[in-house]
Amino acid sequence: MRPRVVFMGTPAFAVPALEAVAERCEVTMVVTQPDRPRGRGRQMAESEVAARARALGLPVLKPADMKSSEVRERLAAERADLFAVVAFGAILTPEVLALPRLGAVNLHGSLLPDYRGASPVQRALWDGLDETGVSTLLMDAGIDTGDVLASKREPIRAEDDAASLAARLAAIGGPLLAQTLLDVAAGRATRTPQDRAAGSYARKLKKSDGVLDWAMPARAVWNRTRAVTPWPGATTAHRGGRVLITRAAPIQGRGEPGVVLAVTPHGVQVACGDGALELQRLKPEGRAELGAVEWARGSRLQPGERFTRWEENPS
């Protein structure tokens, strides 16, 4: 018998999980964040999960306050066996977590206990890991501290940024979550308690995290560039304007940090504190993304010019 599940999620990362759970469980309701202004026009639009739920013919609830008694009563009326939670975007109180008969299962974008918190995918790239993964866990009152139920590893590729890595983790995480729900419902899930003193915490990224520091080693600058792409964007300044670096690679090189060493057919070489970074694609402020060589040609970029910290050159 398929377990009755209330699915809670909001961004694109949660969509593959919704699809996998809906295929294998009886999803009675999808709960997501209220509509928000989106895009350049800042038009009100519903979440990616809400849009996919409607396409699947599933009822959608968009509560403004998960702590309200009305929402709690509405969820209780579903008589769910399980809640499935993926990047929902709101804290669930102990009273809400107690509603499903068998508990609430969360899909998290790391190998717990590492990178509990809001930005596990970005932090794995930031720290230069070769591997990460996804975990399912039974939710408790802490932040990603519940018993781990299952996990799956995923290598990090050199060409990855936060968007590409998150997409792959979402793709492997969806089926893992669906199987975990079935295992819990059948009483065959294995629970592994987390050591709360172990692991690490991945705080939410801020805009300032995207500002590049060319005095850092090239590999560290590269890792940060990957971690903050597409948001908040790897930000530097050139000729007083803001430039986002969207693709780069660490290379050999030496010079004053931020100084352009050369423009080659492969990219723009910029010195770091140790080594150099080859800029391959970038986005100047107010323009579309383009190849760094094309940008350098159009800007008549010369060796010896300097990229600086964005805070030093506000525009």
Domain boundaries, the chain: 4-202, 207-312
Residue spans of the chain under pLDDT 70? 312-315
The CATH code of domain 207-312 reads 3.10.25.10
Measured distance CA(200)–CA(195) in Å, rounded: 11
CA distances from 144 to 116, 141, 154, 222 (A): 6, 9, 19, 28
Place of tokens 């509405």: 74
Place of tokens 């890595």: 165
Contact yes or no for 268/296 (Cβ under 8 A): yes
We find that the CATH architecture of domain 4-202 is 3-Layer(aba) Sandwich (3.40)
Q: State residue 315's pLDDT score.
A: 40
pTM, whole model, 2 decimals? 0.94
